[in-house]
Structure 1
Amino acid sequence: MSRLAASACFAALLLAAGPALAQTATPTTPNIGGFPDSPPIPAPTNPTYPGVIRYEVDATDYDRHIVSVRQVIPVSGSRITLLYPKYLPGNHAVSGPIQLLGGLTVVANGQEIDWRRDSVDPYAFHIDIPAGASELEVSFQWLTQSDNANWRVVMTPRMMNLQFEKALLYPAGYASTGITFAPSVRLPDGWNYGVSLRTTSFEDGLATFEPVDLYTLADSPMFAGLHYRQVEIDPEGDDVYLNIVADEAANLAATPEQIGYYENLITQADRLFGSRHFDRYDFLLGLTNQMGGIGLEHHRSSENTHAPNFFTSWNSHAGRRALLPHEYVHSWNGKFMRPADELTANYNVPTENSLMWVYEGQTEYWGDVLSARTGLHTKAQALILIADRAAFYQNQPGRRWRNLQDVNNHNLLGYRVPGQWTSWMRGTGDYYDEAALIWLDVDTLIRERSGDRRSLDDFARTFFSPEGSDGDWTPRGYTFDDVVAALNAVEPYDWATFLRDRLDADGPDAQAPLDGLERGGYRLVYVEEPNADEKAVYSNWGSDFRYSLGFSLSGANNRITAIRWGGPLFEAGIGAGWDLLAVGDRAGSAEALREAVTAAKGGTDPIRLTLRNGQRVRTVELAYHDGLRYPRLERIEGTRDRIGDILTARRR
């Protein structure tokens, strides 16, 4: 399907989607502040905005971290309302950084005219159009940040991550697929870029692109930089690219073997899903410790960062290699097929997150599986990652009061707001990681019930690639009932009850969803000393006491972090903000603490810790005698290694 045909089809889908996707226009607000009332904000009921919006971005001011934007918007009538995107795709929350929009200026007929922010919704700007004006020139700056304190750094002297949805305004009243932009971006001298937009020219640092609808523009970020490398990684053609920008040119040196793993990823994804729902896909990868970290999905690309030496110190980063597979899977799950309550008409219609355990959870599962099937992870490394995930949820107390279904709302409560008691409050990681354990449970149960003739692979092929959909990239919505029906088509079972039991479980008897481990041929055990593979995957293992004393150590000051609610240190009355000064009569360190825990095993003497929080110093005694505990999956002899089967590369 062509780009324009897909856009028209998607627009019709959105506008006919029914009450779940409706946006009610805002009412006129009473005149309390002494200025004119705010008019209603038009709901997105119109399919097509007349004309093309010229959209010009200047991204050269990296020393001041300022992106300058000029938009020329064709207009008619007497009034227009412009919106700044509020609900950003992939964030599942109100996360549009409108606080970083500055210098908004509107010009018509050569004269600057007034704009007025809506008194109820600060993401909307009302403009009265002067008589005779046929276009508005709108200018502003995206004031990106110089550190990661509040928003991630997106501009450095050597690279940038241009996210168009954070640097534009668009007309209210229209579907995102019905508003056409003609974009161009000016880059610093000598820079190159990766983006899934189609370039029409790139001369003297000015990149000009084919006109696209707002939906496609917002879904097509750019990574640009001084040190840039593009590698074609599609074994079947020339449709998938790895675009790398790096702090230093030497960090671009991915080896042929490493590139081969990503070629395997494309092959294994093709064999898993059986079709593609994009015309081109661009992995955007920043190798940096200067720009902020990200892993964000798009339909035809993804935004990713790794450490500067990700390729040149390959063995040090095994635990992070599943990022690109995860984001690639999102092209099928989350973009082509997505929860119906995420199919909103534009970026200012509220999103709902009821199916994040599918959107993110099954994507997390397939990202890990594909990492093993491609060679990015060895089988041993994949088992280590599963063991760590299983141990975390086996020891998580938050399930007592909050079930996984409610955690799906977490971003709506405040976009990834950090907390001190994550083991009790729970958070976004749960609908990734706990949900991934549920999908392991589903996969192994299908295999067991079918005599290992069918698996979750069959679900993936039929659900994410419906018959006749190869090459179609018009998004489609799914519901809980759709998921259940697709599972039943693979293996008849009471999947609705199975899933609801795990999603809705809370209270003192609620358990982590770990049945897939033993059904897969393994049991979760704890050992006192990690092996070499485990130490390589988790380089911070020596500071991890989560499953013994109930906390971890971080930084040069031995800051106590990740305190487990109900763990030994918690029960001693210690919360966030404390540093470890001493272990018994020794200076505080991870090594001293490990030795103390080992010495106390099987005894009766407590482990004595001296702690400091500001000017306050406390000594606590922990009556813990079970030794160090690190998770491991242990093979159950005489059983089928179904997890091994899952992790094995597909031959077709």
Structure 2
Amino acid sequence: MNTTTGYAANNEQIKYTLTFPEAQAHYVDVEMTISGLAQKTLDLKMPVWAPGSYLVREFTRNIESLSVSAAGKALPAVKTRKNIWHIDVAGKSTVTVKYRVYAFEVSVRTSFIDAEHAFLSSPDIFIYPDGMLKTPSTVHIVPYKGWTTVSTSLEKVNGDSFTRTAPNYDILFDSPLEVGTQDVFGFKVGDTDYEVAMSGGGNYNKERVKKDFTRIVEQEVAVFGENPNRHYTFIIHNYLKGGGGLEHLSSTTLGATRDGYTHEGTYQSFLSLAAHEHFHLWNVKRLRPIALGPFDYDNENYTTNLWIAEGFTAYYQDVIVRRTQLYAPQNYLDLMARQITLLDNQPGAKVQSAAMASYDAWIKSYRPNENSANTTISYYTKGAVIAMMLDLEIINNTKGKNSLDDVMRYMYNEYYKVKKRGYTDAEFKLALEKFAGKNLDEFYAKYINDVTDIDYNSYLAYAGCKLTDDLAGSNTAALGITMIPNTRRVIVATVLRGTAAWDDGINVNDEIIAIDGKPADSKEPIGGDKKPGDKILVKLIRDGLEKEIPVTLKRSTTVKYKIEQLANATPQQLVVRKKWMTLQ
């Protein structure tokens, strides 16, 4: 018996019916029927966050008109917490819950409905009964006019595409649904069927997408040794300009640029995004930090290991595309140089460690402000750089025998398949040491738990490569700000730590109108003839008042890295290089 609610588990049946009478106004109407009840009271709950997106989003803010009835008679539903409704159900074996959800937020992690289609991100759609997370449920969709297709990883009921079932709520909350007129095509890798659902049109070439996705999937399966899915769904939303993705156990949602498929740079980024989210079906959805499952849907789930869960995945997204041989080795090196450039141009790299960036994701990563660049880093970027360093260390120390692949495969088998649980930070470190053949205490102390400057070339040298800064010899003066884009006005968006603007008191939201009496230009605010040490007079508007602030310019500390392959590499370096970059 459940001592909290007093009912015998596993006797309940839960059914949802979704209708869209006002899809054009961005609403879905949900009718939930719970039968087989035996308890006196029932608490209905809604998740406050979506797994994979580490922010409490307060999904109940989009719910309206919730009502509960039994045998046609209304039952009072008392809200006892921001996401909980309490109902007296004594003597009632079946109750019906009706509510409306407003869905008009474009992202891969939130629901969006209009007359064209519905994207349903399950955690912000489905209320569930407390204590019944392991209970199966059925979802029946009554489509809006003209909608013909459902794309999701949820299984069909009796072959009906518009009726789906989930064995428990962890699966339901990890299975978004796309309903509309999306273009659906598929491919097969091994025993796994893949569905690609394209929504929003686009200039994609189906055959090219299928061929390239196949290569990506094959390379990722090779890392882990198996594909745990029998079917997998890519839901792709095409926008005027889109991006981002969110992983799920047997599917993913991607944002893409509608007409970007014929631009090679944009298309390569799209493939990297697809590789990233698909790699997650192993790394984080199955091989996961111990804190990330079973989920607490009411509260934050803290871990210091997002630099592994997300950062290693960010590393592999480009490694995998490189392994497909779709792009030249230098493309891969350019992408890694870009990651290092992003990290070193972030003043927060000297403030926040990879472990703390992971832990504080809930309050910092998804809630950036005007000072975030000075105080935080991305665990995606720092984690990807750390993964590169560890990969090179392992390959070099084992003379090409082992790589980071071996760590990932071992951890997947040992913790997901054998121990059937997540890993601790210490356990992942032991696995890295096992395959590197060395103690990593110092590495962890410097680069994961602290903010020690990284000597990149000590690692890149293993592969006979060298990192250089194209701007190292420049003596460019800089004010030290970023500006609000897409406007001719010079409005300060960020003041970077340690720069001239920081030292002399330029503020975020200041509108710079003149420098030394000349109108400010958003393309070149301080003018190209200025040198470090020059003194300028900045005229600006702050809170409606004009001010003049003297500023002494400093040398720009912006870096722009590139990685090159050295021609005189040793045989050992060539072994590492070939293994690292999958050279043929």
Q: What whole-Å deviation, never above 9, does each CA across 1:385-418 have from its counterpart, x for those lacking one?
A: 3223212333433344433322222233367112
What's the counterpart of residue 190 of structure 1? 146
Q: 1:511 to 1:58 in 2, by over 3 A?
A: same
Residue 347 of structure 1 deviates from its aligned partner by: 2.2
Deviates more, 1:151-160 or 1:72-81: 151-160
What's the counterpart of residue 240 of structure 1? 194
Residue 555 (1) aligns with residue 493 (2): no
What's the counterpart of residue 335 of structure 2? 385
1:393-472 superposed matches below 5 A: 393-413=343-363, 416-427=366-377, 430-466=378-414, 469=417
Contact residue 357 and residue 365 of structure 2 kept, 8 A = no
What's the counterpart of residue 284 of structure 1? 235
AA of the residue aligned to 1:574: I
Please give the alpha-carbon distance, in whole angstroms, between the structure 2 residues aligned to 1:422 and 1:414.
8
Please give the alpha-carbon distance, in whole angstroms, between the structure 1 residues aligned to 2:238 and 2:510.
33
Q: 1:441 to 1:238 in 2, by over 3 A?
A: closer
Contact residue 52 and residue 73 of structure 1 kept, 8 A = yes
What's the counterpart of residue 211 of structure 2? 260
What's the counterpart of residue 480 of structure 1? 425
What's the counterpart of residue 504 of structure 2? 572
Contact residue 546 and residue 552 of structure 1 kept, 8 A = no
Residue 498 of structure 1 deviates from its aligned partner by: 2.3
Residue 137 (1) aligns with residue 124 (2): no
Residue 463 of structure 1 deviates from its aligned partner by: 1.9
For the residue of structure 1 that corresponds to 2:10, the secondary structure is coil
For the residue of structure 2 that corresponds to 1:234, the secondary structure is strand
For the residue of structure 2 that corresponds to 1:112, the secondary structure is strand
Residue 516 (1) aligns with residue 459 (2): yes
Contact residue 321 and residue 377 of structure 1 kept, 8 A = no
Residue 586 of structure 1 deviates from its aligned partner by: 5.8
Residue 504 (1) aligns with residue 449 (2): yes
Residue 308 of structure 1 deviates from its aligned partner by: 1.9
AA of the residue aligned to 1:476: R
Q: What whole-Å deviation, never above 9, does each CA across 1:248-299 have from its counterpart, x for those lacking one?
A: x4x1532533442212111111222211122211111100249x86411101
Gaps in structure 1 of 5+ consecutive residues: 1-24, 26-39, 530-544
Please give the alpha-carbon distance, in whole angstroms, between the structure 2 residues aligned to 1:308 and 1:587.
38
Residue 107 (1) aligns with residue 69 (2): yes
What's the counterpart of residue 122 of structure 1? 82
Q: What whole-Å deviation, never above 9, does each CA across 1:393-448 have from its counterpart, x for those lacking one?
A: 33433344433322222233367112111122215xx2111111111111111111
Residue 468 of structure 1 deviates from its aligned partner by: 11
RMSD of aligned Cα (Å): 3.5
For the residue of structure 1 that corresponds to 2:24, the secondary structure is coil
1:23-422 superposed matches below 5 A: 48-59=9-20, 61-74=22-35, 75-118=37-80, 121-131=81-91, 133-145=92-104, 154-174=112-132, 176=133, 178-191=134-147, 192-200=149-157, 207-226=162-181, 228-246=182-200, 249=201, 251=202, 253-254=204-205, 256-289=207-240, 294-316=244-266, 318-319=268-269, 321-344=271-294, 346-348=296-298, 350-374=300-324, 378-413=328-363, 416-422=366-372
Residue 224 of structure 1 deviates from its aligned partner by: 3.0
For the residue of structure 1 that corresponds to 2:199, the secondary structure is strand
TM-score by length of 1: 0.78
What's the counterpart of residue 491 of structure 1? 436
Gaps in structure 2 of 5+ consecutive residues: none
Residue 384 of structure 1 deviates from its aligned partner by: 2.7
Deviates more, 1:268-277 or 1:375-384: 375-384
For the residue of structure 1 that corresponds to 2:401, the secondary structure is coil
For the residue of structure 1 that corresponds to 2:288, the secondary structure is strand
For the residue of structure 1 that corresponds to 2:282, the secondary structure is coil
Contact residue 41 and residue 88 of structure 2 kept, 8 A = yes
TM-score by length of 2: 0.87
AA of the residue aligned to 2:212: Y
Deviates more, 1:207-216 or 1:551-560: 551-560
AA of the residue aligned to 1:576: V
Q: 1:635 to 1:626 in 2, by over 3 A?
A: farther
Contact residue 261 and residue 375 of structure 1 kept, 8 A = no
For the residue of structure 1 that corresponds to 2:197, the secondary structure is strand
Residue 135 of structure 1 deviates from its aligned partner by: 0.6
Contact residue 41 and residue 124 of structure 1 kept, 8 A = no
Contact residue 71 and residue 137 of structure 1 kept, 8 A = yes
Please give the alpha-carbon distance, in whole angstroms, between the structure 2 residues aligned to 1:126 and 1:525.
62
AA of the residue aligned to 1:477: G
Q: What whole-Å deviation, never above 9, does each CA across 1:302-330 have from its counterpart, x for those lacking one?
A: 11111222324454454454221111111
Q: 1:128 to 1:255 in 2, by over 3 A?
A: closer
Deviates more, 1:414-423 or 1:610-619: 610-619
Contact residue 512 and residue 541 of structure 2 kept, 8 A = yes
Please give the alpha-carbon distance, in whole angstroms, between the structure 2 residues aligned to 1:607 and 1:159.
54
Q: 1:426 to 1:51 in 2, by over 3 A?
A: same
Q: What whole-Å deviation, never above 9, does each CA across 1:172-203 have from its counterpart, x for those lacking one?
A: 124x2x21101112222333232111223688
Q: What whole-Å deviation, never above 9, does each CA across 1:561-602 have from its counterpart, x for those lacking one?
A: 3432112322231232134545667654454459x34x445x
For the residue of structure 1 that corresponds to 2:179, the secondary structure is strand
Q: 1:621 to 1:547 in 2, by over 3 A?
A: closer
Residue 61 of structure 1 deviates from its aligned partner by: 2.6
Aligned residues: 571
For the residue of structure 2 that corresponds to 1:233, the secondary structure is strand
AA of the residue aligned to 2:308: V
Contact residue 395 and residue 547 of structure 1 kept, 8 A = no
AA of the residue aligned to 1:137: T
Contact residue 48 and residue 297 of structure 2 kept, 8 A = yes
Please give the alpha-carbon distance, in whole angstroms, between the structure 2 residues aligned to 1:236 and 1:591.
52
Please give the alpha-carbon distance, in whole angstroms, between the structure 2 residues aligned to 1:62 and 1:498.
53
AA of the residue aligned to 1:52: Q
Q: 1:628 to 1:395 in 2, by over 3 A?
A: closer
Deviates more, 1:634-643 or 1:398-407: 634-643
Please give the alpha-carbon distance, in whole angstroms, between the structure 1 residues aligned to 2:563 and 2:405.
23
Taking only the aligned residue pairs, the percentage that are identical comes to 19
Please give the alpha-carbon distance, in whole angstroms, between the structure 2 residues aligned to 1:337 and 1:87.
21
Residue 231 of structure 1 deviates from its aligned partner by: 2.6
Contact residue 54 and residue 366 of structure 2 kept, 8 A = no
Higher RCO (CA 8 Å, separation ≥ 6 residues):
1
Contact residue 395 and residue 579 of structure 2 kept, 8 A = no
Deviates more, 1:314-323 or 1:82-91: 314-323
Residue 109 of structure 1 deviates from its aligned partner by: 2.0
Residue 637 of structure 1 deviates from its aligned partner by: 4.8
Q: 1:158 to 1:313 in 2, by over 3 A?
A: farther
Q: What whole-Å deviation, never above 9, does each CA across 1:159-181 have from its counterpart, x for those lacking one?
A: 3320122112212124x2x2110
Residue 641 of structure 1 deviates from its aligned partner by: 6.0
For the residue of structure 2 that corresponds to 1:98, the secondary structure is helix
Deviates more, 1:134-143 or 1:577-586: 577-586
For the residue of structure 2 that corresponds to 1:53, the secondary structure is strand
Please give the alpha-carbon distance, in whole angstroms, between the structure 2 residues aligned to 1:288 and 1:546.
38
Residue 525 (1) aligns with residue 484 (2): no
Q: 1:259 to 1:578 in 2, by over 3 A?
A: farther
